[in-house]
Amino acid sequence: MERSEYGIVAIPKIRFTISGAYKRRFLFFKTYGDYEVAVEASISLGRLIPISYHGLPFIDTQIECTMNFEVDEPVTRGWFVTGLIGNAVRNNIKTTLCNQMVETLDDVIRGDVSKLELHFPVAEESTSLDYRLVRPPFMLPQNDARFYLDGTANHTANRPRMALSASGGNMTGRDVAFHVYEGLLTEVSQSLCEKGLLDGNLTSPGKDEVSFQCILAEIDIQNQKNTPHVYLSLTGSELYADGRDVVQSRSYTLTPLQNSEFAIMLRIKAQITDESIDATFNNEILALIAKAFRNSMNVPLPFIRNATLTDTFFRFETHAFIIYGNVDFS
């Protein structure tokens, strides 16, 4: 297995003291007392291999331990037991310490992984997102772990819509990176459309009231010449009082935002001019969807309990953007 597919926990140098009491019978003599032994060691725990367990991110429970150590001369009151104590420490220190450290690491990993929430509400009474893994996780070259998540409401995804990378600080100095694909945002936008949250009655001076109903909502993320763009394409039906049903598609520019509560928000910036469509209710439809996005377009991300996301910034790619941030427990 290549080095890039797993991580390790390395302790290059640790020095500690083992102390205790001894009792020893030698022929007709019995001796007892206290002892101290200083040990210096280097320890490596790994390979830490990310795996998928019933759709949840986890670490393979088979964790290897390698250890190199030196044992100083024991300090005792009985010189003739010094060698016995030294040999006992040398023969048992590796097994005892490795078992304890592997058990501790496993407990820490289980505790940390259990804090990663993978199922959240999108908007009250609208829908929910499923963030189960859709691909086996793997380690990046700098030992950052990456998880590919579903990010759908209809559970029919055949490719990931969200990727989460966790790091010790190698990713531009940040702890985590959320790779948000446009398919995730389209999934949420369309669910809002299907739930009627983008529908409404439109009025304009001197015009009869028109009933607007959303049919299709899609998000497109582009990064052209290092200039990021996020677009909403909205197709809707405009039902007039005289029975006419006019279907038109409008496009809008969006601004992605992120808050400390591990959530993405999209805000409507402006409508893209299109002279081929009837512009009578452009302003009313813009106000309608802008309000709906403010109230309901709040996409929760996998998050750590009792923590906030700080020092965030966006990087845009084709069909996706990445949110980098630090996890703050204070």
CATH number for 62: 3.15.10.10
Per-residue pLDDT at 268: 93
Residues 137 and 249 reside in one and the same domain = yes
Q: Is 0.95 surpassed by the pTM of this model?
A: no
Per-residue pLDDT at 221: 94
Q: Which mean pLDDT values do the consecutive 10-residue runs of the chain (330 residues) have?
A: 61 92 78 89 85 67 87 81 88 90 81 56 49 68 68 60 66 82 89 91 83 95 85 94 92 89 88 89 91 87 78 89 85
Per-residue pLDDT at 2: 37
Burial string for 53-73 (b: 16+ CB within 10 Å, else e) reads eeeebbbeeebebebeeebee
Domain termination site, one of 58, 86, 114? 114
φ, ψ for residue 287 (rounded to 5)?
-65, -35
Per-residue pLDDT at 306: 74
Nearest to 133 by CA among 60, 51, 207: 51
**Cβ distance 39 to 68 under 8 Å?**
no
Per-residue pLDDT at 33: 85
**Cβ distance 320 to 221 under 8 Å?**
yes
Residues 225 and 275 reside in one and the same domain = yes
**Cβ distance 51 to 59 under 8 Å?**
yes
Question: What is the count of structural domains for the chain?
Answer: 2
Question: What number of H helices and E strands is found in the chain?
Answer: 3, 20
Domain termination site, one of 114, 137, 161? 114
Rounded to whole angstroms, the Cα distance separating 89 from 71 reads 8
Which two structure tokens, joined as six digits, stand for 180?
A: 């948000």
**Cβ distance 146 to 212 under 8 Å?**
no
Residues 217 and 315 reside in one and the same domain = yes
In which domain, by residue range, is 324 found? Answer: 119-328
Distances, alpha carbon 103 to alpha carbons 18, 26, 96, 247, 327, in Å: 20, 38, 11, 62, 25
Nearest to 164 by CA among 173, 172, 175, 156: 175
Per-residue pLDDT at 47: 81
Per-residue pLDDT at 3: 38
Residues 88 and 161 reside in one and the same domain = no
Per-residue pLDDT at 122: 41
**Cβ distance 6 to 48 under 8 Å?**
yes
Domain termination site, one of 96, 114, 132? 114
CATH number for 219: 3.15.20.10
Q: Rounded to the nearest 10 degrees, how much is the dihedral formed by the CA atoms of 211, 216, 217, 218?
A: -160
| Amino acid residing at 76 | T
Residues 292 and 215 reside in one and the same domain = yes
Per-residue pLDDT at 123: 41
